[in-house]
Every structure is written in C-alpha cells, then in structure tokens.
Amino acid sequence: MPANPALRDYLLTRRSVGIAFLKEPGPNASELEQILTIGTRVPDHGKITPWRLIVIEGEARVQAGERLAGIFARNNPGIDEASIEIERQRFLPAPLTIGVISSPKPHPKVPEFEQLLSAGNVAFNLLHAAFALGFGASWVTRWYTFDAEAAAMLGVGAGERFVGFVHIGTPTTTLEDRPRPALSEIVSHWGLDQQ
C-alpha cells in the first residue's frame, strides 16, 4: 500500500465537532450510503456482522425527541419543563444521527467482548466517513443508551445495546484541538520499562 500523506495528516488532526455545532445541510442519500458503507467496513472476527444501524433523520428526529422527552418526564416526576425540552431536542440540530447497535451473535470462537469492540469500530468509522465527505460529526452515548425503555424505543432488540449515536452535519465552527495524552504516559515497552 503506498504512503498516503493526506490520510496521515487527517489522522493527525481529526477531531469531533460538538453536536450543538452541526447544522444543515446533512448528507444526501448518496452521501449517506457512502457513510454507511465506509462505517461498516470494520474488523469483524468471524464475519458475523455483530452490529446494525438505525438512521434518524428529517421529521423522525422530532418524533424520537418527543418520545424520549415522554420517557424522561415519566422517569423524573416534577422535573422542570426546560429539562424536558432538552430531551425533546436531542436529535436536533444535527440533520442526521446514526444509532450504532451492538447485536452480538452466539459464536463458538468469537466472544461477545470482541463483537462489542467491532461495533465500537463502526461508530468510529462513521466519524471518519463523515469527515472524509466534508461533514462534522460526534459520537455520544447519553442516558438513553443505558435506559432499557428509551433504548428499546430507539430501536434495540433483545440482547442488543447501543454503543452510541453518531450525529452528522455541516460544522458551524472550527474547534480548537483538545489536550491529547503524552505518549510517554501511556506507552511502555515490554521487557524494558517493566519488571
């Protein structure tokens, strides 16, 4: 494989764009297909496809937010209207969100742990795909990843779980990078630095 300086530079500088800074336009149908195709081109031990995706776009964003707000209000009696409104807006303003579901399959050689990691790769690869097409994107989980009723409402089935939601849109701002860990703090060389 030839060296690819553009890809290297992208990987050295890539960073997420916060979901509040993602606006229209979002990917069109053909761009979305490319994003989904790239996103699902990930390592997958045993080729068992232990993940699936739910696209939330257009009017569905408003309906999903309404349902989410309903669950949130029921779970938090007496909560103020401003907090409920935040839930109503969860899939706005980003034009498009892709829920990534870990959907492990029983397999004699591939533990669920590996299948979960593969699903995480899908989420990260969706970010790469969005950036490659000129969009901004962010991977978040939020409470509804961990709340059984909300996750089911958003599309998970029995034995499944969300690994997160990738929000995609046109960035309205250029963000400063965030601090990155010093390699000296996280990398050691077996046999040299360890006893």
Ligand X SMILES: Cc1cc2nc3c(=O)[nH]c(=O)nc-3n(C[C@H](O)[C@H](O)[C@H](O)COP(=O)(O)O)c2cc1C
Q: Which residues bind ligand X (CB under 6 A)?
A: 15-16, 138-142, 164, 178
Residue with Cβ nearer ligand X (72 or 194) = 72
Task: Give the Cα separation of 54 and 113 in Å (integer).
Answer: 22
Question: Minimal distance in Å, beta carbon 11 to ligand X?
Answer: 11
Question: Minimal distance in Å, beta carbon 34 to ligand X?
Answer: 20
Residue with Cβ nearer ligand X (20 or 107) = 20
Residue with Cβ nearer ligand X (40 or 121) = 121
Residue with Cβ nearer ligand X (26 or 139) = 139
Question: Minimal distance in Å, beta carbon 109 to ligand X?
Answer: 26
Do 140 and 19 touch, CB atoms closer than 8 A?
yes
- Per-position DSSP letters for the chain, written without gaps between them: ----HHHHHHHHH-----GGGEES----HHHHHHHHHHHT----TTS---EEEEEEETHHHHHHHHHHHHHHHHHSTT--HHHHHHHHTTT-SSSEEEEEEE-----SSS-HHHHHHHHHHHHHHHHHHHHHTT-EEEEE--HHHH-HHHHHHHT--TT-EEEEEEEEEEESSPPPPPP---HHHH---TTTT--
Question: Minimal distance in Å, beta carbon 178 to ligand X?
Answer: 6
Residue with Cβ nearer ligand X (15 or 41) = 15
Question: Minimal distance in Å, beta carbon 160 to ligand X?
Answer: 16
- Tell me: cis bond preceding 93? Omega within 30 of 0 counts: yes
Residue with Cβ nearer ligand X (47 or 142) = 142
Task: Give the Cα separation of 92 and 19 in Å (integer).
Answer: 8
Question: Minimal distance in Å, beta carbon 21 to ligand X?
Answer: 11
